[in-house]
Amino acid sequence: MKNSLTFTPLFLAITATIAPLAHAADTTPADGFVEGASLKLNARNYYMNRDRHDIHTDDNKEWGQGFLGIFESGYTQGTVGFGLDAHAMLGLKLDGGGGTDGSSILPYGNSQGSGKAPGSFSTAGGTLKMRAFDTELKAGDLFLNNPVIAGGMTRMLPQTFRGVSLTNHSLDGWMIEGGQASFTKLYNQSGHQRIGTSYGTLPEHTDSQHLDWAGVSFSGVPGLTSNLYAAELKDVWHQYYYDLDYTYALNDLVSLNPGLHYYHTQDSGQSLLGNIDNNTYSLHFTVAVGSHSVTAAYQRVNGNTPFDYITQGDSVYLDNSQQYSDFNGPNERSWKLKYAYDFIGLGMPGLTTAVSYSSGKTDLSKVDPTSRGYSAWYSADGQDAKHWERDIDVKYVVQGGKAKDLSLRLQWATNRGSNGYSAVDRDVDEYRVIVDYPINVF
């Protein structure tokens, strides 16, 4: 095992900081268990088509209807308040199977071993919560969203985690949090499992036991945000993250937005994925003029393993993470140009669109072919492997009437790779049609 910073002291230090901050703050008014309650429903219709151009691979085409209900109570009166959150999810298969399943919308296969996704799948969960001053403690099934552990939200149903979290907002402009998650409910499954990784292959019958995290976010200066996080996926890696983003308005029409994201990942404990020493960063610069914006981004992976993150998670806060590819291969360098337009400038509020082109080059010949977790990335012909992706995104949100907030989103990604890149990627056209109808019951 490499000598590395240990996660536990940082976690304890941040957690210990919360107590004096909380005592220094005024008591947060309690809104009442019933008075502060809310119930939100969302119906999401999702179609995904992965048209694979590799003749040895079947296409993936699935269509489903998902329903999500989230109840959140308020807190009981008093200095220490208690509450309860609950959620339920149902996914229905509208089409998929017969060799076209596997797009990640529906479960991978049913219990009869037919290889076809079941007609429906469902799950439910609850969370106990406690609030004292400006500190909130939750235990149970959690919706998490930060740079080191974020539940996937880009499919028909969301991903959740089972564990505990602690959040503090005592200081204006600051948020401190920490927690531990032992299990995850994947977005296309009903049951829970241990937390794995998106790009690594853990040894058979071996699991990581849990993920610990701690972090601090700052937004106390207008236009400026910054985050610092640390995480440990037990016996797999330590991962550290930092970002800085600033938006400067030149006038009422023009604004500039530079920013950076940085991850350092290093193996820890039993090193179940083998040796990892990876530094990955991305830089972006956006110029916005009225309803138009143009973004240029550069991303680089320094290491002979890919930049990796938890299974199905959205915890990849990198500028060149696109619809199909994350441009995160070993030693990969990539750039992106993106143009976005808000049609409110033409008197059509609710309609937005974006187009982008990304290109990456990597050296897969430096990957260890005997790597415990990443040998599949090795390619003897991958010394100068290249690939590119073109993305088109159009979204419309209904602005009023009985269908207010109903949205339709169309996405199209085209990814093409050279022969040297074929070990880890394929030539793919991917289409998505997503319809969301959120309802605030109370």
pLDDT in tens, 339-350: 999 999 999 999
Q: Cβ contacts of residue 211 below 8 Å, gap of 6+?
A: 148, 149, 180, 181, 182, 195, 231, 232, 233, 234, 310
What's residue 430's pLDDT? 93
Q: Has residue 204 got a pLDDT over 90? A: no
CA 285/CA 297 separation, integer angstroms: 7
The predicted model gives 253-278 an average pLDDT of 96
Q: Has residue 372 got a pLDDT over 50? A: yes
Band of the pLDDT at 257, cuts 50, 70, 90? very high
CA 170/CA 188 separation, integer angstroms: 37
Q: Are 274 and 368 in contact (CB under 8 A)?
A: yes
Band of the pLDDT at 203, cuts 50, 70, 90? confident
The predicted model gives 330-345 an average pLDDT of 97
What's residue 60's pLDDT? 82
How many residues belong to the chain?
Answer: 442
What's residue 55's pLDDT? 61
What's residue 152's pLDDT? 85
Domain 128-440 has CATH 3.40.50.11720: no
What's residue 51's pLDDT? 85
3-state secondary structure labels for all residues of the chain: CCCCCCHHHHHHHHHHHHHHHHHHCCCCCCCCCCCCCEEEEEEEEEEEEEEECCCCCCCEEEEEEEEEEEEECCCCCCCEEEEEEEEEEEEEEEECCCCCCCCCCCCCCCCCCCCCCCCEEEEEEEEEEEEECCEEEEEEEECCECCCCECCCCCCCCCEEEEEEEEECCCCCEEEEEEEEEEEECCCCCCCEECCECCCCCCCCCCCCCEEEEEEEEEEECCEEEEEEEEEECCCEEEEEEEEEECEECCCCEEEEEEEEEEEEEECCCCCCCCCEEEEEEEEEEEEECCEEEEEEEEEEECCCCCCCECCCCCCCCCCCCCCCCCCCCCCEEEEEEEEEEHHHHCCCCEEEEEEEEEEEECHHHCCCCCCCCHHHCCCCCCCEEEEEEEEEEEEECCCCCCCCCEEEEEEEEEEECHHHCCCCCCEEEEEEEEEEEEECC
Backbone phi, psi, residue 290, to 5°:
60, -125
Ranking 21-35, 113-127, 128-142, 152-166 by mean pLDDT, the lowest is: 21-35
The predicted model gives 255-270 an average pLDDT of 96
- Closest CA relative to residue 160, chosen from 170, 147, 145, 173: 145
Ranking 92-96, 105-109, 347-351 by mean pLDDT, the lowest is: 105-109
Distances (CA, A) of 20 to 135, 230, 291: 11, 22, 45
What's residue 100's pLDDT? 63
Band of the pLDDT at 364, cuts 50, 70, 90? very high
Band of the pLDDT at 389, cuts 50, 70, 90? very high
The predicted model gives 64-91 an average pLDDT of 95
Q: Has residue 8 got a pLDDT over 90? A: no
CA 261/CA 238 separation, integer angstroms: 17
Average pLDDT over all residues of the chain: 89
Q: Has residue 101 got a pLDDT over 70? A: no
What's residue 174's pLDDT? 96
CA 430/CA 413 separation, integer angstroms: 5
The predicted model gives 404-426 an average pLDDT of 88
CA 258/CA 139 separation, integer angstroms: 37
Q: Has residue 5 got a pLDDT over 50? A: no
Band of the pLDDT at 116, cuts 50, 70, 90? confident
What's residue 344's pLDDT? 94
Q: Are 407 and 399 in contact (CB under 8 A)?
A: no
CA 45/CA 75 separation, integer angstroms: 33
Q: Has residue 259 got a pLDDT over 60? A: yes
Band of the pLDDT at 61, cuts 50, 70, 90? confident
Band of the pLDDT at 57, cuts 50, 70, 90? low
CA 251/CA 229 separation, integer angstroms: 33
Torsion of CA 153, 157, 159, 165, to 10 degrees: 80
Q: At 258, list the tokens.
A: 């530079």
Q: At 371, list the tokens.
A: 């790597």
Backbone phi, psi, residue 13, to 5°:
-65, -45
Q: Has residue 2 got a pLDDT over 80? A: no
The predicted model gives 248-256 an average pLDDT of 96
Q: Has residue 84 got a pLDDT over 80? A: yes
Q: At 295, list the tokens.
A: 């973004």
Residues 299-314 have pLDDT tens digits of: 999 999 999 999 988 9
Q: Has residue 14 got a pLDDT over 50? A: no
Band of the pLDDT at 98, cuts 50, 70, 90? low
What's residue 322's pLDDT? 95
Q: Has residue 112 got a pLDDT over 60? A: no
Specify the higher pLDDT residue, 294 or 26.
Answer: 294
Q: Has residue 128 got a pLDDT over 60? A: yes
The predicted model gives 137-150 an average pLDDT of 96
